[in-house]
Structure 1
Amino acid sequence: MPTQTDAAKPMAPNEKVKVHVHNPDALGPVFEVSEQRWQEALDRHPDIAARVDATFSGSPADLEAGLQRADALFCWDVPREALAQRAPNLRFVHVHGAGVSHLRPFDWLPPDVNLINSRGVHGSRAAEYAMMAILMINNRIPEMMTNQRQARWEQLFNTAIEGKTLLIIGVGNVGGSVSGFAKNFGMHVIGIRRTGEPRENVDEMHKPDALADLIPRADVVLMTAPHTETSHHMLGKAELDLFKPGAGLVNYSRAALVDYDALEAKLRRGEITAVLDVFDPEPLPESSSLWNAPNLIMTPHCSSDDAEAYTPRTLDLLMRNLGNIADGNPLENVVDQTLQY
């Protein structure tokens, strides 16, 4: 399915762009588009605000009413059946997040409707978390936390991180930001990205087919790739077995990029350490054996969503795209439905 990026005919000067914001309570305060946040976004974009007519919903019934008139929809998820009939004027759907794998396959999306994500919005918070996790692995903190839970005094020593190798799988906005931090700590940075094109602060850039050759060189592997059909279990048992003894894994991106069953087996054998922020399903059930897996630190998918800035920055992106609709300009952050991100 092709990506829709062409500019459309601009709206008349007195015609307002109708946007509907679906904002269920279950999303929580970090992701809430409150009245105050919406007004502050309008205040930051006064020229666009004058051309916007917004409606809001928290329930399915109110959502349906809003869809009937909407040019743009802002949401995390939406019932997808017969969307073209339910939202006849729709121009784009902006997903309140960077990942869109929960919306695949994209056959529900009408051919003239763009899908927008929030990639690039996370800012420095994501890079800070990833670098913290890399430093924790180098300082053997996951192992020390295992010893602490078992009341076991065992001094664990390591060497400085300078000169060690970081492999970043998926050098996009977040991976590229982390590479700058890693270079400041004197690390050798290897990157993998679909195009293989070089990027600042990455000493070597490769395509995904080089993964098996690169893993044995890494002291830490950082997953910042999108989850697609082709990247599913990109780190399976065979790839995890290529990690050198004592190496660590940080998964910031999506759980399905890694075979967690195979990872857990290696954690329990003491062959690897890990910091994980993403799981499947979420919330992670109490019955999951990962809760007591050794050599592992888990954070509950909160690594990069800045409590104060994430939603305001996302609304800034939404406002720019509402302005783009009004003026007939190309949209920002259009998801390539073929690449699935």
Structure 2
Amino acid sequence: MRSAHRAPRRLTRRHLLGLGGIAAAGVAGLAVQQLRSGQAPAEANTSPGRAAASGAPSPSAAAGPQVVAKGGGTVPYRPGRTILGSYLALEGKAFTESIALRRRQTGRDQRIVHVFYDWTDTLPARIAGLPAGATPLVSWRGSAYSDITSGGSDARIARAARQLKRQGRPLLLRWGWEMNGDWYPWGAARNDKDPGAYVECWRRIHDIFAEEKAKNVSWVWSPNWNSAPVAGWNSFEALYPGDRYVDWVGVSGYNLHRETPDALFGPIYRAFSARKPLMITEVGSMDRGGRTKADWITLFAQWVEAHPAVGGVVWFDTDTHPGYAEKWRIDTDADSLAAYVAMAKSVRFSG
């Protein structure tokens, strides 16, 4: 995969994943309960988890387990199925070699192939080496809000729409992700703490794509699992562009500080699962020795199984990410690979 698909070298993994938050005692208790009941063990969440930091509305206890039954735009959500793919970049291997390795290991192809582009890049009219049947997830970095709201970027946006339209296949577009963090220039924290301007940018881009008739694009709005800083203007609710402008609600979350899956993904699931299908657009786990990584993958798979609105999972499957030593790839050890393969071969992930 060429360098344009990777994150900028000036950013460390800390910037991509965000910071830890405040420990959630209930989540730690859940992990202990799972260990005692014989379910797959997970590390206790003894470190920050800003599970309540999003500011998004929480459903009442009487709301029940209602979840979305359709949606996804041109990449449709299928109830009871989860599309599985990855951002795949392995040291010493070309993209096609990495794809072939994962096919041999898991017995299946990627259903989503995640690629990254800078704001000034020409977006792809074709992605070389894409497996048959795979859907591209194009993450397009943002810019200062004023560059977009002023109309000064309209020509760039229209050109991007025409390029993606030329692919002639359904694809996912994730513009300006993790906008609720303070580590990217397109975050609200770096744009006068103005969530309304982010929403205006999103809608402007969406409308220009519509004018260019790029009807093959499915829109993925994708915050980080926790907000930095924690503030009302930086919450899920304040930054959401609106149901008409979003096909999938995405989220980035990593087991970086011993978080359980529910600490990472529970809040956004509860906020949006009755309205939109969810896609976990970036996920991975630290390896702390023994079976810690394998057990977390198993626990994650169980969490997805229990949350039917999750219609997509995109692993951060790489050991080449600049500025961070952690090997996020799925095959750092035999147990971790086996846990991932078991997840990939399950009925839930056969979408």
| TM-score range for the pair, normalised by the shorter chain length | under 0.3
**Bigger-Rg structure (1/2):** 1
Q: TM-score, normalised by structure 2?
A: 0.26
